[in-house]
Amino acid sequence: MPDTDLDFQDAALAAEGDSGAFERLYRRHVTRIYGLARRMAGPDDADELTQDAFVRAWQKIAQFRGEAAFGSWLYRVAISVILGHRRRLAIHRERTAPEEWNREGQPSHERSSEIGMDFETAIERLPARARHVFVLHDVEGYKHHEIGRMLKITAGTSKSQLHRARMLLRATLA
Amino acid sequence: MSDSTDTWRDRLSDYLDGALEDSERSELEEHLEGCEECRETLVELRQVVARAGSLVDAPPARDLWPGIAYRIRETEEGERRGKSFTFSVPQLAAAAVTLVALSSGIAWQIASGFSARQAEPAVSVAQAPAQTGLLLASRIASHDYESAIAQLERVLDVGRERLDTATVRKVEEKLALIDRAIDEARQALSADPSNAYLNQYLAGTMRRKLDLLRRTAALTEL
Helix (H) or strand (E) holding B32: helix B22-34
Range(s) for CATH 1.10.10 in chain B?
Answer: 3-53
For A102-116, A154-168, B20-34, B60-74, which range has the lowest pLDDT when averaged over its residues? A102-116
Is B207 within 8 Å of chain A by CB? no
The one-letter code for the residue type at A62 is A
Nearest to A166 among B45, B69, B72 (CB): B45
* Of the partner residues B60, B75, B165, the one whose CB lies closest to the CB of residue A50: B60
Q: Do A54 and B68 touch (CB under 8 A)?
A: yes
Specify the CATH architecture of the domain B3-53: Orthogonal Bundle (1.10)
Contact residues, chain B, for A166 at CB < 8 Å: 13, 45, 48-49
B12–A19 C-beta distance less than 8 A: no
At residue B9, the pLDDT reads 86
| A126/A143 Cα distance (integer angstroms) | 20
CA distance B203 to chain A (A): 30
CA nearest A29 in B: which residue? B59
A17-55 residue pLDDT tens: 999 999 999 999 999 999 999 999 999 999 999 999 999
pLDDT in tens, B30-39: 999 999 999 9
Classify burial at B158, counting beta carbons within 10 Å of its beta carbon; exposed 0-12, middle 13-18, buried 19 or more: exposed
Chain A residues touching residue B170 (CB < 8 angstroms): none
Q: How many CA atoms lie within 13 A of A57 on its CB side?
A: 32
ipTM of the complex: 0.81
In chain A, the residue whose alpha carbon lies closest to the alpha carbon of B68 is A51
Contacts of B10 (CB under 8 A, 6+ apart): A160, A163
**Which residues in chain B show pLDDT less than 70?**
1-4, 78-144, 161, 196-197, 220-222
Distance between B92 CA and the closest CA of chain A, angstroms: 29
Q: What is the pLDDT of residue A71?
A: 93
Question: Structural domains in chain A?
Answer: 1-105 (1.10.1740.10), 108-174 (1.10.10.10)
Taking all residues of chain A, what is their mean pLDDT, rounded to a whole number?
84
Give me the pLDDT at residue B141, please: 55
Cα nearest neighbour of A164 on chain B: B10
Contact status, residue A113 vs residue A132, Cβ threshold 8 Å: no
